[in-house]
């Protein structure tokens, strides 16, 4: 993993998956950031945000422009590994139990019906709608308890 534009990007797909597998052998939790050019810009204007972006297990590049900038400025060639790609790759790997949180139930139901076509194990995984409310109104202990009881290795969260 190397730092470009103050963000610790991992461009090597194999290393991304090795890092995830290795991290899951240890207790505790972690997160992966998916950063495009807007995230890069925001992170470089807000030190707290940059700390969050760089504080996780790794950051993957969700932009075609960032690798282009790296090539122009640093002379190094990389390809993006966008969020939808890593999502598909992890689902298709059939290695992990996952839980899917966020968005509306109709969207989650549609997602589940499509993901089952890629990985039949998904039919037995949890798809849970989170309420649209202020962050302070979430029942974090109940959500955490649900995740713990589920035993998921990976938690996917739809933020928008």
Show which of 93, 125, 143 is a domain's final residue: 93
Which pLDDT belongs to residue 159? Answer: 62
- Beta-bridge partners for 154: 98
Pair 107, 85 in one domain? no
Distance from C-alpha of 1 to C-alpha of 16, rounded to nearest angstrom: 9
Pair 20, 1 in one domain? yes
CA distances from 22 to 27, 95, 134 (A): 11, 13, 34
Is this structure's pTM higher than 0.95?
no
Pair 137, 112 in one domain? yes
Pair 76, 113 in one domain? no
Which pLDDT belongs to residue 83? Answer: 87
- Does residue 37 contact residue 63 with C-beta atoms inside 8 Å? yes
Pair 101, 47 in one domain? no
Pair 78, 154 in one domain? no
Domains held by the chain: number: 2
Show which of 36, 67, 93 is a domain's final residue: 93
CA angle 31, 39, 88 (to 5 degrees): 50
Pair 14, 62 in one domain? yes
Give me the mean pLDDT over the 49-54 stretch.
96
Pair 86, 111 in one domain? no
DSSP 32: E
Q: Which two tokens stand for residue 3?
A: 């730092």
Show which of 73, 93, 113 is a domain's final residue: 93
Give me the mean pLDDT over the 16-31 stretch.
94
E strand map for the chain? 2-4, 7-9, 32-35, 58-61, 98-102, 126-128, 154-158
pLDDT at residue 32 tops 90: yes
Q: What range defines the domain where residue 72 resides?
A: 1-93
Computed over every residue of the chain, the mean pLDDT equals 93
Pair 145, 132 in one domain? yes
Pair 143, 100 in one domain? yes
pLDDT at residue 160 tops 70: no
Pair 45, 104 in one domain? no
Give me the mean pLDDT over the 118-137 stretch.
91
Pair 36, 54 in one domain? yes
């Amino acid at each position: 993993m190397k730092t470009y534009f103050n963000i610790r990007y991992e461009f090597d797909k194999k290393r991304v998956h090795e890092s995830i597998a290795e991290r899951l052998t240890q207790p505790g939790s972690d997160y992966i950031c998916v950063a495009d050019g807007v995230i890069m810009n925001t992170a470089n204007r807000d030190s707290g945000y940059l700390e969050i972006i760089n504080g996780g297990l790794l950051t993957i590049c969700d932009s075609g422009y960032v690798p282009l900038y790296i090539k122009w400025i640093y002379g190094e060639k990389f390809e993006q590994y966008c969020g939808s790609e890593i999502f598909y790759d992890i689902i298709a790997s059939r290695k992990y139990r996952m839980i899917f949180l966020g968005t509306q139930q109709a969207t989650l139901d549609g997602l589940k019906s499509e993901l089952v076509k890629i990985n039949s194990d998904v039919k037995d995984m949890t798809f849970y709608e989170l309420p649209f409310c202020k962050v302070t109104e979430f029942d974090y202990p109940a959500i955490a308890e649900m995740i713990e009881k589920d035993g998921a290795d990976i938690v996917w969260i739809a933020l928008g």
